[in-house]
Amino acid sequence: MGLNLPMQDEDVGQTLGVWRIGHGFYINMPILGPFSTRSLVGWVGDSFLDPITWYVDPMLLRWGVKGYKKFNNVSLTLGYYEALKEAAIDPYIAIRNAYIQYRNALVKERGVFPERVTPVKVYSSNPEVQRASNDYFVAELKPQLKEGQGFFATFRLVLSNKTKKELNLDWENTFYLLNSREKGRFLWEGVTWDGLKEMRGQPLVTIAAGDTLTAVIFPKQLLGRATGTAPGGVQYTQGGLPEGENGISLVVRQNGKVIREKMVVTISK
């Protein structure tokens, strides 16, 4: 007579996460792959709970079975790894952040999520908000932490029109700056992955006299494709802003005149 217990694809590391134990430090081990402190402790616990450890002999066969399972899992995700590595400015940071998000998602899908998630590292911005002002507008740029994480993924841009005429924010010629070098354009919340393929240039955004524009933006180069789909199409995930000088080279137009401003913050651990 069977117990009729449903199969559970969980591990000890997820259980520790449910009990609000933080990730700890991140490490990428040869052959075994990425771990946080929590998932590494969980992996050791899983080994003791795995029936293969106790009922498969000899030892060479036992580790052969475990090795096959590991390499099979790697083969199923190799394409995602290569795509993320190619798109990222700093592959190590991008892979680390993706791994932490993946582990958080595994904990969350059980319906219980830690009230406090201890990030691997908490980044800071100096200054917290960068400002620029001229005869035409006042602008603010503030890096924003990714929800539940310790790294910055987006900017909050605020631009106020000081004139009595319309201003046009020129996204096509506005660039992301990384350590004083232009590294591609920006995207904004609400853009889907499918929509990117249909985009032909980026539109001018009109700011009426005396009005203020507020937008959450992120570098296109740090964009990654998220798994799964949503009603608006395939979704994306933002990679973390790397350490160093991050900012924006802003271009605004009014009646044929081009107004340029640069705003930069320094991101560090």
Distance CA 14, CA 105 (A): 10
Distance of CA 61 to the CA centre of its chain: 40
Q: Look at residue 231 and tell me whether its pLDDT is greater than 80.
A: no
Q: What does the alpha-carbon distance between residue 216 and residue 248 come to, in Å, rounded to a whole number? A: 13
Return d(Cα 61, Cα 48) in angstroms, integer. 17
pTM, whole model, 2 decimals?
A: 0.55
- The mean pLDDT value for 45-59 works out to 71
Nearest Cα to 260, choosing from 250, 245, 248? 250
| Total length of the chain | 269
Of 39-53, 110-124, 216-230, least confident by mean pLDDT is: 110-124
Q: Which amino acid is at 76?
A: L
Distance CA 202, CA 153 (A): 21
Q: Please count the other Cβ atoms lying within 10 Å of the Cβ belonging to residue 223.
A: 19
- Model confidence at 121, pLDDT cuts 50, 70, 90, reads low
Separation between Cα atoms, residue 39 and residue 21, nearest integer Å: 10
How high is the pLDDT of residue 114?
A: 47
Domains of the chain: 12-108 (no CATH), 124-268 (2.60.40)
Q: Is 41 in contact with 13 (CB distance < 8 Å)?
A: yes
Confidence check: pLDDT of 139 > 80: yes
**pLDDT recorded at residue 77:** 63
Residue 251: per-residue pLDDT? 95
Question: Which residue has better confidence, 207 or 6?
Answer: 207
pLDDT on residue 173: 92
Q: Residue 171 — left, alpha, or beta (φ > 0 → left; ψ -120 to 50 → alpha)?
A: alpha
